[in-house]
Chain A
Amino acid sequence: MTMPDRRDLLAGAALFFGSSLAPPLAKALSQADNPAGFTASHAVFNDGQRALVTAICDRIVPTTDTPGAVAAGVPAFIEMMLADWYSPGDRVDFLAGVAALDGFAMRGYGKAFAALAAQQQDSVLTTAMHGMMQGLASGFFDHCRQMVLLGYYSSEIGCRQERVYLPVPGRYDGAYLYSQVGRVFSS
């Protein structure tokens, strides 16, 4: 389906509520084109780790009829969070988890995870998901998936293309038909 553009939504709100709302709505419009704003304070990944995490992101939230996690910048988001949000111990644990995935890929297929075919990558992730991967901390898959989902659904693509973003809803309907949207409203 076609996602309504935020400008249309805001313009609609202005029409609905009259020109008295113009100043705050103008402020909302001025924010509309701000780029996603984060920069990691330092690199955490080497090239191999970056490719590995990118490949994981791509399999967890792939591009379908909407862009996936890689297009939404999730690998860079995860690197920023590891650099500036995680505690050193949690950062080590996360890196150990992805290393374990890569080690499993090497042992099983003789290739790094990032170099595997998509089907093989899914097989590795499925093994991890079911807690069947030796040397992988329990809970790592859930943790990793949670990071990808957080990064994706808080990204502009996640909010505005995969989900429906209402910056200024203007009204509340507590009996709105799901069939009218067919998606989830983002926060």
Chain B
Amino acid sequence: MANYDFDAIVIGSGISGGWAAKELCEKGLKVLMLDRGRMVEHKKDYITEFKGPWQLPYRGTLPPAEVARDYFLAKWGGAANTDRNHFYNNDRLNPFDYEGSTPFRWVRPNQVGGKSLIWGRVSLRWSQIDFDANRKDGYGVPWPISYDELAPWYSYVEKFAGIAGGREGLAQLPDGEFQPPHAMNVAEIWVKERLEKAMPDRKLIHTRCANMTEDKPEQGRFRCQRRNQCARGCSFGAYFSTQSSTLPAARKTGNLTLLSDKVVTSLDYDPKTRRVTGVRTVDANTGEAKIFTSRIVFLCASAMASVQILLNSRLPGSDRSFANSSGTLGCYIMDHAMRTFFWGTVPEGQLDQYVEYGRRPAGVYIPKFRNLNGQDADADFVRGYGMQGGASRAVAAPDGFGASMKEGLRKYGPWTIQFNVFAECLPYKNNTLSLHPTKSDRFGMPLIVFDVAFRHNEERMMVDAARQGEIMMRAAGLVDVGSRQDEHVPGDAIHEMGGACMGDDPKASVVNRWSQAHDADNLFVTDGSQMSSTNCVNPSLTFMALTARAADHAVKLAREHVI
């Protein structure tokens, strides 16, 4: 057996990488975790936490000129806010091929922990309906795994991460291992009661989220304090992040080495043994190039970046990636379609006496209701969408100026409820990510070229969602009902997936049912790039479950000396 620097290398330290490191370390492997971003330590480096609005630069919003120069894509994920700007990629310093790509809003993080520090935290399971979808309607690569295979791993990661939610018994949205949900407010309960009575096939439920409602003292984490400032980092550890959860667990084993500021550019590969033999890195600060070796490699660099690294890992004397014998590497790039909104107002005289005390980190959810039992007769699209929302009261609008206006601004406007739709994006083989033949970034990495677009099915779904949304708002007795469809650009949802899809057929997919590369037995790709379809639910919980499952399998194979 060769001598390795480490038993395993985990590339990336976000939601997937953190889980890989934790699981592999806890199973006794010596693990190196690499991240291209800067170090952020839990608590200590949450530099805007506990600051009042008056203590934030520019009272909260970055100057537009700076946004236009450095964060013109990251702004779509919140980077224009000065309470969290330091957690985002600089789009000028780290570009893709903007000129040669179709519009794509690639929102990236800038630190150890990746997007786990700034994620939306909505944590929903897939169902068997979703694992069957590709096989049934013929789009994309058929999923090789079933819900039942993944269910125990969902349970495993939920128990550790701490998911708040309510048990509903819905086939399309299986229940999990939940802490008590974050309570609905009085207006959400009002809408729920009326909606579910008027339209019994629709449900309005608590959003299931990785913000705890009970303490986890064994992890040094405490329940949510209802600040709703999660994206600044949370010293209570109330929401799941690498920093709060998986990184401390991995460190506790004594088996983890974590290096920040290491940009992975490619993987070395030996075609004779079909193994990845080295991980090539460039130091982001010094430019020093270094190769690390390990027996096992977990690629968790984020969906698009993992595909970029794989595409840049070419066979000697070839333009082709070692991981691309199927010819599908970089194909089937997906992101949820979003930016369709609908809303309604609770009629005057109802609930006027109530306001919210505290700030919840999550609201309510309307699970998928379209095409659940085969194709709906009135649906001109396949698959479906879910709706995330919440009710609140905005401050009354200013009227005039002076003392009377000031007094008027001590009051609230009416209760309104608003929803944002997340729709499944079909896997289209020719929605692609490729590498530019000549342009590269400051680390010598070829630039990504995106050729990705939403198509008729996504567009029809969004039209339907807006119409259904208005129908539901009216059925619930709300007034001033409306909807809006903004331009939705791939990447907007920050749920980008695909490019190294999972399937049984090595000729049609990049990884197998264990997230293991068909072309390299010791390489596991466990982030969003392995997804063969998107379903319509927020994907991170599924990445966690697939990663923990793959780590378990990889260690079994290693113990059996298969890899």
Residues of A within 8 A of B (CB): 13, 17, 20-21, 23-24, 27-28, 31, 34, 36-38, 59-62, 64, 68, 77, 80-81, 84-87, 122, 125, 129, 145, 149-151, 153-156, 158-160, 162, 165-179, 181-187
Contacts and interface: CB of A to CB of B under 8 A. Distances in A.
Given A129-B400, A149-B398, A28 B57 contact: no
Given A27-B43, A129-B401, A154-B60, A185 B355 contact: yes
A165 B55 CA distance: 13
A62 B54 contact: no
Contacts of A31: 50-52, 55
Contacts of A159: 52-54
Contacts of A28: 50
A166 B358 contact: yes
6 contacts: A27-B49, A37-B54, A64-B406, A173-B356, A173-B358, A187-B53
Contacts of B352: 178
B379 interface: no
B349 interface: no
B382 to A, nearest CB: 37
A168 B227 contact: yes
A62 B186 contact: no
B226 A169 contact: yes
A167 B226 contact: no
Contacts of B354: 174-178
Nearest to A177: B353
B53 to A, nearest CB: 4
A43 to B, nearest CB: 18
Contact of A85 (B49, B58, B236, B358): B58
A32 B526 CA distance: 43
Contact of B57 (A13, A38, A169): A38
Contacts of B226: 169-172
B401 A172 contact: no
Interface-central residue, B54, B188, B400, by most chain A CB under 10 Å: B54
Given A38-B57, A150-B59, A178 B50 contact: no
B185 A174 contact: yes
Contacts of A81: 58
A184 B408 CA distance: 10
A20 B215 contact: yes
Contacts of A187: 53, 359
B407 interface: yes
Interface of B: 43, 49-55, 57-61, 63-65, 182-189, 215, 217, 222, 225-227, 235-236, 352-360, 395, 398, 400-403, 405-407, 409-412
Contacts of A155: 53-54
B54 A156 contact: yes
A87 B355 contact: no
Contact of B357 (A20, A59, A173): A173
Contact of B54 (A27, A36, A122, A129): A36
Interface-central residue, A64, A80, A159, A178, by most chain B CB under 10 Å: A178
B212 to A, nearest CB: 13
B217 A20 contact: yes
B358 A36 contact: no
B52 A183 contact: no
A172 to B, nearest CB: 4
A62 B236 CA distance: 39
Contact of A174 (B51, B64, B65, B188): B188
A129 B403 CA distance: 16
Contacts of A34: 51, 55
B353 A179 contact: yes
Contacts of B52: 31, 156, 159-160, 165, 167
B182 to A, nearest CB: 7
Contact of B355 (A62, A84, A86, A178): A178
A184 B412 contact: yes
B355 A169 contact: no
Given A34-B55, A156-B54, A178-B352, 11 more contacts: A17-B222, A20-B217, A31-B50, A68-B406, A154-B54, A155-B53, A168-B227, A174-B183, A174-B354, A184-B412, A187-B359
Contacts of A61: 401-402, 405-406
A155 B58 CA distance: 11
Nearest to A166: B358
Contact of B58 (A38, A64, A125): A38
Given A23-B235, A169-B225, A172-B183, A37 B359 contact: no
A148 B561 CA distance: 69
Contacts of B409: 149, 153, 184
A62 B402 contact: yes
Contacts of A153: 53, 409
Given A62-B403, A166-B358, A170-B358, A24 B235 contact: yes
Contacts of A156: 52, 54
Contacts of A13: 225
Interface-central residue, A159, A174, A185, by most chain B CB under 10 Å: A174
Given A62-B406, A154-B53, A184-B409, A172 B400 contact: no
B51 A175 contact: no
A23 B355 CA distance: 31
A187 B235 CA distance: 19
A184 B411 contact: yes
B407 A64 contact: yes
A155 B60 CA distance: 11
B357 A169 contact: yes
A169 B353 contact: no
Contacts of B61: 85
A176 B356 contact: yes
A169 B356 CA distance: 11
A172 B357 contact: yes
B401 A60 contact: yes
Query: Which 3 residue pairs across A and B have the least CB separation, nearest first?
Result: A174-B185, A169-B358, A176-B357
A153 to B, nearest CB: 8
Contacts of B395: 184
